[in-house]
Structures are given as C-alpha cells and as structure tokens.
Amino acid sequence: MTRILRRQNAGAPRRHGPPVFVRKMGCAFAGLIVLAAVGSSAVMSFFSRVRSPWTIAVAIGVVVVIVAGFVRTFRRAARVFGEQYRLRRQLMADVAHELRTPLAILQGRIEGLLDGVYPRDDARLGELLSETQHLSRLVEDVRTLANTEDGEVELRKEKADAPELITDAASAIALPMVVDVPQQLPLIEEDPVRIHEVLLNLLSNAVEHAPEGTISVSAEARAKEIVIRVRDNGGGIPPEELPHVFERFHKGRHSRGSGLGLSIAQKLVLAHGGAIRVESTVGKGTMVEVSLPR
C-alpha cells in the first residue's frame, strides 16, 4: 500500500500530441495526397504517349476516383470533428453542472458562518472540508478522464502481485467485505497505481449501492488473463440503464457520486489491454468483472 501511495504522489509523465482521431485523419489525408500525386503523374505520363478515347476515359476515371476520395475523407473529417466538438461542449456543460452543487453548498454555509446563522465550530468546519474534498475528487476525476480520452495517460507497467493489489484496495474501504483471492495467482504486468484506482472505484460503487449489504471481491487465473470480480447484493441496475453505465456523468436514480467512476475504470482497463463488463439484476445485486492480460 505504501509503495502505491508513494508512486501516486510522484505522478506520471504525460505524453503530449494530437488525439488519436486527428492522427488517423492526418494519415488518411497523407495517403490521398500520395495517391493523387502518383496517380496524376502516371496518368499524365501515359496520356502524353498514347492519345485515344479510351485513355481519356481512363484519365477521367482516375481523376474522379481521386476527387471522390478527397470528398469522402473531408466529409468523414467534418463528421468526426463535429462529434468531438459536441462531446467537448457536453463535457463542459456536465462539469459545470456537477461543480455547481458543491460550490452552492460551500457558498451557503460560509455565508451562514459569516452571518452568525451557524456556529463556528469544528462540526461546521468539517462539513466545509468534506465539500472541498468532494470538489477535489471531482476535479481529479475530470482530469483523469480527459487524459484517458486523449491518450495522454502513460502507464508505468511492472510485474505486480494481483492478490496484494486487491487486498490493499479492499483494506482501503471502511466497510468489511469478503475477499476470496488465491495467493498463488501469477504475476501480471500492469501499472499498480492505475489498477488500484480501478479497484477503488469498483469497490466504492459497490458500497454505495449496498451500504448495508454484502460486498465481495474475488479473483481467478485463466490461460491468458486474470479475472477480478466485485459483487454486491444491493438493489441492482435497471436493464434500460445497463448500456449506459460506462458513459461519463451517467448516474442511477439513487447515485450520489459524480458519475465518472465506471467511465474512468473502463478506460484504464482498456489502456491495459483488458476488458470490463457489468451484470446486474434488479433486487439481487450487481457484478463487475475486470479481465487483465497475464
């Protein structure tokens, strides 16, 4: 646990560069430019030597294909950039909405302290501290999500002991839970800080949905992967909400979190080359399964 927290405080260097979709569009444009140059040169050379109706038709056909390729690429780029612009505007609106509530609470309580409505005691200061910590977590979640979506999170992979990571994450949760993790699991190559963050998100979600119920975490080794499962016996997730659980800022009807935990967990697991899925039955509970390559 000490090793994980030490690395977490040190931070990880970030890779800078254009987003993935921009690089793909750049490669597409570069390919079309090369094709246009080579095709035009070949057509002009051939046309200068042989002049006949069918060569003219071939030349026109090549030109039409090149122009159509450019038009199609431009339209695709316009759609992609338009969607990215829409998503970023939506993200800004969602962040503003999520920040508004704790800021309004802070403002109201501070004004109450200044006006003498609330006593200036440790209890009130503790409430203010709790709200500032909530704001800090929200800002950090938004930063992590933005970095994972832009591909700027650099994973510091190392051979790690999965049982130790799972036990450390479970011990960080205040409520007791059932931990069923064999100690003979093979080592996995991962970034322990990021996987620790994933496990904390999943366990915190389970506790939120089943505060009085039973939380369990288990693990098993397969041929090419380690599978970790977090279960709770809470109220479950309605079927219509299941397809949206990994969307950022998506919240259930009784959720009190930021709606970013599962979205961040999914992106960090995918960055490790793994997979994550959710199964849930209303009234019986939820199971989140994470698969990490060995």
Domain boundaries, the chain: 18-149, 158-293
Question: Across all residues in the chain, what is the average pLDDT?
Answer: 77
Does the pTM exceed 0.85?
no
| Domain made up of 158-293: CATH architecture | 2-Layer Sandwich (3.30)
| CB atoms near residue 119 (< 10 Å) | 10
What digits encode the pLDDT tens for the residues 200-226?
889 988 888 777 778 899 999 888 889
pLDDT recorded at residue 288: 94
The crossing angle, in degrees rounded to 10, of helices 192-209 and 2-10 is 110
Instruction: Tell me the average pLDDT across 286-291.
Output: 94
Instruction: Tell me the average pLDDT across 78-92.
Output: 74
CB 290 within 8 A of CB 228: yes
pLDDT band at 231 (very low <50, low <70, confident <90, very high): very high
- HSE toward the beta carbon, residue 49, CA cutoff 13 A: 5
CA distances from 262 to 88, 99, 151, 189, 246 (A): 19, 19, 17, 22, 5
What span, in angstroms and rounded, lies between the C-alpha atoms of 294 and 287?
22
Q: Which of 242, 237, 233, 220 is nearest to 291 (CA)?
A: 220
